Structure 1
């Protein structure tokens, strides 16, 4: 987790460099709403991870204690190399089944919902992957990989995947045969039939070549990014819930009890016959594909961007101190984070009720002054009053300025 924290500043520096490359090359790989949406799911994911990381760590530690066939030494370079390759092998199957089974796709689909492709897309991560993700890495515990080694190679694998989410790096020759590259990962993020469900490796692409899931990026078939059933939302909470909601609705509608159970574990896209006929899911024609877009006045864009920067700061604070915070402090921090990101998502979508909800969010800063020290989120201090009051006052002024320039009020 600390490695991720140290990497965050570099992530934002590289995103800034990519934005400059966009300008220099006359490309447009970033849109404000899409970028904030992707980063919001990332912030929500890391914050949720503070509450749920114990699921994977505890189950791994228990498996290591009770199921390990051998115990590998923690100080051996060969063990680290073995673990790094083995983790990517496990990741390949985790990732592949994440595309092939409904309940796993419900979690993983978050990462694919963006219709743009840039470095911010790499940070677009699920908040529910912890539910089943730990299962795929138990073989490492059975083979005796130490917990510290497992956690470290998992983090390194995740960090590697950041740089491949770009459209600015072309094919890399021999590198493409062994390693995941921006080119073959662009193909992975496509919704074109040619590229669908291909290139699952995290670091090594030879798993895909070995198991028949490799597809080279084809210049004659430009990649169309996104999912075949568009999210059509900028809200990070809905992004995480959307496919679960669809599965729940289908399970409720079907008359067969067996279908109510098996829908979760069937191949992705499978639906009960009695439901599919009555409630068809319309998928857009890719030949007429248009990205999801909501027109926003400039003052509203600036206001939301500045508010989001506050939440990036809060997320970094929680990530830095998460190991030392009490559960109630983490719950309070997560709740405040989730509410704020939901409200910003509503603002990006120009929801009629977004302004009222933003007022509620700002009003909740008052009880937060008492709740945060009580929960241990931060110590009691007059600076807490001053800081939250100043932030709230500036936010209200920004909201008023936004309202004054945009009519009707719902558009703000």
Structure 2
């Protein structure tokens, strides 16, 4: 089965060159050579591994598709959902729903974050960043989609919808696109995706949607971009090297060190499956802890400002 993503590569290349030219002409500093080379090599590796694991992904879908066909016939009254337009629509929505939860858990479970971290490792936010995909993420990602072949969605249709989702997300990685009011109420846009790639404390773990942003609105992870706040891209603890091997595997090494460094099985479990930043001795902080501290600081600043107001009024009397 041909991958639709490959047909868009020439268009992606043209758009990246155009964005780089605009950056150069307007001195926006959207690209630098070291960062772009890292994105290129990570992207090439991800493309190769995605191709090699595609048979495994679709094969897994076909396994559950065929395995549950007798149960669908007996309990649901059909053998499969077919290829009607409304099935395509449902498949696209279901695929995006799966992507939201897959993506959200990539940010809240450390072992999954280790696989996804490379996508956020760049301190630049540009179209080239879209190709920074983790090399190990393809091994577990299909698990979130298993329910779809069980219900009778054709595995080929599922795989195509996953590709369409990836194609759409390429266009999200740019700072040159302004807010899109009506469209952005339902669909993900570059404006709010900047929040997702930012490492500002108040922006952490927000806007996980792929094509649709409604999942973030429904499940409480949506946050609009503050046009007055300077957005800082990257991760809180950036890797020291930018070669593709380090970018893809350094967090797995850190997990192994943490697991070996504690005796408690509960602590070992939390270092693997707990949120990123969790530590047994409190020496590190999760994103929720950091955000709680930030909120307390904001409340303290507001309270201090309110206390100063009467004094200013007396002074001016």
TM-score (normalised: structure 1) = 0.65
- The residue number in structure 2 matching 1:401 is none
What is the aligned length?
Answer: 279
- Cα RMSD of the aligned pairs, angstroms, is 1.9
Structure 2 residue runs without a partner (length 5+)? 73-77, 288-317
Q: How far off its partner does 1:120 sit?
A: 0.3
Match of 2:169 among 143, 147, 161: 161
Match of 1:214 among 208, 222, 227: 222
Say whether the 8 Å CA contact 1:71–1:145 is kept in structure 2. no
Q: How far off its partner does 1:2 sit?
A: 2.7
- The residue number in structure 2 matching 1:178 is 186
Counterparts of residues 299-338 of structure 1 (less than 5 Å): none
- The residue number in structure 2 matching 1:50 is 51
Say whether the 8 Å CA contact 1:98–1:105 is kept in structure 2. yes
- The residue number in structure 1 matching 2:305 is none
Say whether the 8 Å CA contact 2:42–2:133 is kept in structure 1. yes
Kindly indicate whether residue 245 of structure 2 is the aligned counterpart of residue 244 of structure 1.
no
Q: How far off its partner does 1:234 sit?
A: 1.6
- The residue number in structure 1 matching 2:239 is 231
- The residue number in structure 1 matching 2:15 is 14
| 1:55-74 Cα shifts (integer Å, max 9, x gaps) | 32222111111235354443
Kindly indicate whether residue 202 of structure 2 is the aligned counterpart of residue 194 of structure 1.
yes
Say whether the 8 Å CA contact 1:71–1:143 is kept in structure 2. no
Other structure's SS at 1:74 match: coil
- The residue number in structure 2 matching 1:147 is 155
- The residue number in structure 1 matching 2:311 is none
Structure 1 residue runs without a partner (length 5+)? 284-412
Other structure's SS at 2:203 match: coil
Say whether the 8 Å CA contact 1:55–1:134 is kept in structure 2. no
| 1:66-122 Cα shifts (integer Å, max 9, x gaps) | 235354443311110110011000100000011000111011111000000000000
Match of 1:127 among 108, 114, 135: 135
Deviation above 4 Å: which 4+ runs of structure 1?
none
Q: How far off its partner does 1:11 sit?
A: 1.2
With 135-144 and 85-94 compared, the bigger mean Cα shift is at 135-144
With 168-177 and 44-53 compared, the bigger mean Cα shift is at 44-53
Say whether the 8 Å CA contact 2:259–2:267 is kept in structure 1. yes
Q: How far off its partner does 1:262 sit?
A: 3.9
- The residue number in structure 1 matching 2:112 is 104
Say whether the 8 Å CA contact 1:74–1:149 is kept in structure 2. no
The whole-number CA distance in structure 1 between the counterparts of 2:28 and 2:202 is: 24
Other structure's SS at 2:229 match: coil
